Amino acid sequence: MAQNTSTGNTLERKISMSVVAADVEKNVAVRLARMARTVKMPGFRPGKVPMKIVEQQYSAQARSEAFTEAVQQAFGHAVREQNLRVAGFPRIEPAESTEPGKVFFSATFEVYPEIEPADLSGKTVERATMNVGDAEIEKTLQVLQKQRVQFVSADKAAAKDDRVIIDFRGTREGEAFDGGTAEDFPVVLGAGALLADFESNVEGLKAGESKTFSLTFPENYQSKELAGTTVQFEVKVKAVEAPVLPEINADFAKALGVPSGDVDQLKTDVRTNLEREVKKRLQARVKNEVMNLLVEAHTFDVPTALVEQEAERMAEEAKANLASRGMSVKDIPVEAAWFNDQAVRRVRLGLLVAELVKKNELFAKPEQIRAVVEEQAQSYEDPADVIRWYYSDTQRLAQVEALVVEDNVVNWVLSVANVADKTVEFDELMASN
């Protein structure tokens, strides 16, 4: 017997059910008989333990397992009969027995929402565009030069992009504070390693010169003890080193993986890699625009159970990320509740994407998966090895398949919505995550 009732939660359901006690006891007897054939006890050969002793030792376990199985079967039958799509796990609770020979219980659970895809024909998606030209190649080469910069001693006042070696001591109300003192500390001015107000006070100083100044930490400073407070720093510049960029020549090309040292070949390689990177970033931008549009265009409740699971998963990812950076996770409390809003969005998007894929047959095709794998492999020295690596693991292929499905959804949305192309600046695109 099963009776379905709704609760205040639009996705929550409660089913009242019962199982026949005699059927459970039959299952208990079968389980005990099975145990008796293999159970081991001191003083008895395997399979020769008296049934009475087996019952004394294992009847509670057998009855618990038999009842759990009966409940699971009753619950499964009920949800299939009522065509319910269960999200998460049910909460099983005993109920008052109203009929002799039967055990009553209730199962409370959530179901997946019914999603009706919105009409997107009147919506607009902004699609970022950018062409890679000679100017972008030159900017990229300049970045590569800066990555290989060398610093040489200079008899000059420190300026932006110079590296200075400094001693400093910070005090608050006359007392030194943690992290406020260092010796022979190297810092490139303008790189953002120190607060901008600190660096601006160092600029203009020569080697051997000192300066005392006040500094107020930002309200959102990472150290709560220092946030918003004003301190005093004493700084001594011990050396000023000017940056020297390498010339773009044969040696530079060889250092970047062009054995021949051909600078034109280097520029061709840079263009190829840059076009690949720009394409990836543009695709990521339009995907983000599409996903935002889908979220804004649809309103429906999401199962709390799925949100909790996703928040827990995100919290575990955050812990793993911190641990990979050498931080002690046990000293840093990471709570799933912090990720609740993000989890709601992810679950909603996941349900939306799944519905659109099903209704519009946007499933990943083998040739699409192959194309993505081959494209990703091109950035490696031996693409064939990378392709084999992907196809040797079903989990890796599943990750690629998920990306293809998302791309199919993006392309479908672009085909039904209005698209407004917008040119973005190179620096803006490359600065985005």
Is 5's pLDDT higher than 70? no
Is 160's pLDDT higher than 80? yes
Pick the CATH number of 124-132+260-431 from 3.40.50.2000, 1.10.3120.10, 3.40.50.2300, 1.10.10.10: 1.10.3120.10
Tokens of 222: 């990472």
The domain made up of 2-111 has a fold known as Alpha-Beta Plaits (3.30.70)
Is the distance from CB of 117 to CB of 355 less than 8 angstroms?
yes
CB count, 10 Å around CB of 68? 12
In the chain, pLDDT over 70 holds for what percent of residues? 97
* pLDDT value of residue 223: 84
* pLDDT value of residue 44: 82
What would the pLDDT profile of 81-90 be if each residue is shown by its tens digit? 999 999 989 9
Radius of gyration from C-alpha coordinates of the chain: 33
What is the value of pTM for the model shown? 0.74
Under the banding of pLDDT at 50, 70 and 90, the label for residue 3 is low
Number of residues that this document lists for the chain: 433
Q: Please name which of 276, 278, 256 lies closest in space to residue 267, comparing C-alpha atoms.
A: 256
Cα gap 226→231, rounded to integer Å = 9
Cα gap 338→318, rounded to integer Å = 11
Is the distance from CB of 265 to CB of 314 less than 8 angstroms?
no
Give the distance, in angstroms, between the CA of residue 181 and the centroid of all CA atoms in the same chain. Answer: 36
Residue 176 forms beta bridges with which residues?
171
Q: How far from each other are the two terminal CA atoms of the chain, in whole angstroms?
A: 55
Under the banding of pLDDT at 50, 70 and 90, the label for residue 4 is low
Is 8's pLDDT higher than 70? no
Handedness of CA 241, 242, 248, 250 (dihedral sign): negative
The domain made up of 149-244 has a fold known as Chitinase A; domain 3 (3.10.50)
Domain ranges of the chain: 2-111, 124-132+260-431, 149-244
Handedness of CA 378, 380, 381, 385 (dihedral sign): negative
Mean pLDDT of all residues in 365-381: 92
User: Which of 91-100, 279-288, 297-306, 325-334 has the weakest average pLDDT?
Assistant: 325-334
Q: Helix, strand, coil shares of the chain as percentages rounded to 5?
A: 50, 20, 30
What would the pLDDT profile of 28-79 be if each residue is shown by its tens digit? 999 988 888 888 888 888 778 888 888 888 899 999 999 999 999 999 999 9
Is 237's pLDDT higher than 50? yes
What would the pLDDT profile of 143-152 be if each residue is shown by its tens digit? 999 999 999 9
Under the banding of pLDDT at 50, 70 and 90, the label for residue 7 is very low
DSSP letters, 190-211, are TSSSS-HHHHHHHTTPPTT-EE
